[in-house]
Amino acid sequence: MLQSLASNSCVRLIQNHKSTWYFVSLILGYLLYLIFGAVVFSSVELPYEDQLRQELRAVKKQFLLENECLSEERLERFLKKALDASNYGVSILNNASANWNWDFTSSLFFASTVLSTTGYGHTAPLSDGGKAFCIIYSVIGIPFTLLFLTAVVQRIMVFSTRRPITYIHTRWGLSKQLVAIVHATLLGMLAVSCFFLIPAAIFSALEENWNFLESFYFCFISLSTIGLGDYVPGEAANQKFRELYKVGITVYLILGLIVMLVVLETFCELQQLKQLRKMFYLKKEKPQDRLAILEHDHLSFTTVSDNTGGKNEDKAKTFVSVPTLVSPNDDPMIQ
């Protein structure tokens, strides 16, 4: 008997706090996914890092043996200065000295990466004034970009998703959920083809040292706004039409970001995903529930008031019990 009562209470507790348990499971699942990613990246990349370290030590040792007049300390200072400059996008190589990082087209590309929060990191402001302006520019520009993207995506969604789904649903009488799933799948395939596969083929042809996988990797890292900065187009020394190429990449990033948001919004409007999201959300208090609570409080207050009024009347009857006199002869004192 006690076990059944305990089990029933546990089931009732879980049902009453279902969204909380779902949210806790979501947090645990996210932490496990982070740990899983760390384990995989560490196991895959650590051997390559160790191999690269050994190769660099061997090259450095061979260089010092061939140049005995150069001390290791002087070489370390030179390499540190060169690496610090490279972190700001400035290279000391002869074949890279012709490329400027802060001409107009490069600055336009940098501004687009800042406002879209892609941030490749291959170029950074050098001066204190540039760093201060970057902060102010980002504080104003990032919300402005979000407003711009939201307005554009909202208008595109009407013509790319809502009207076609409604038209097919009313014209052929198909299930609206089925039409939405097929439409989202086709739209996602079209976006992948036009903004990942085709641009990857173009980048692999224009960039000498990029294969198709590296080009596709750049497209995904850029349009997902991860922006690691390990692959940046238009930075080769012998890049033809570099200014026009940078402008084209800027347009590609803006259009690609808009298309990605349209696809994500299309998938988020699917009924199945809406129900999945509601599992982890706090339940909103419905107007009917509020009305029931107010009515319950009103009834409780009315009951208390009636009970209080009844008790007061009883007390008045107890202490003020005066008989009604019809004539003076009815008074017992007179009798």
- Judge contact between 97 and 91, C-beta under 8 A: yes
pLDDT tens, position by position, for the chain (335 residues)? 555 555 566 666 666 677 788 889 989 999 999 999 999 999 999 999 999 999 988 988 888 888 888 888 888 888 888 888 877 767 777 655 567 778 888 899 899 999 998 888 778 888 899 999 999 999 999 999 999 999 999 999 999 999 999 999 888 888 889 999 999 999 999 999 999 999 999 999 988 889 999 999 999 999 998 888 888 888 777 777 888 888 999 999 999 999 999 999 999 988 888 888 787 777 766 655 555 555 555 544 454 445 545 544 444 444 444 444 444 454 444 43
Determine the 3-state secondary structure of 281 from DSSP: coil
Whole-model pTM above 0.85? Answer: no
CA gap 141, 133 in Å, rounded: 11
DSSP for 120-178 reads: --SS---SHHHHHHHHHHHHHHHHHHHHHHHHHHHHHHIIIIIHHHHHHHHHH---HHH
pLDDT of residue 70: 82
- Judge contact between 142 and 116, C-beta under 8 A: no
CA gap 141, 114 in Å, rounded: 9
Copy the structure tokens of residue 238. Answer: 């012998």
CA gap 91, 82 in Å, rounded: 7
DSSP letter at 97? T
Determine the 3-state secondary structure of 258 from DSSP: helix
- Judge contact between 197 and 216, C-beta under 8 A: yes
pLDDT of residue 255: 95
pLDDT of residue 331: 47
Phi and psi, residue 329, nearest 5°: -70, -15
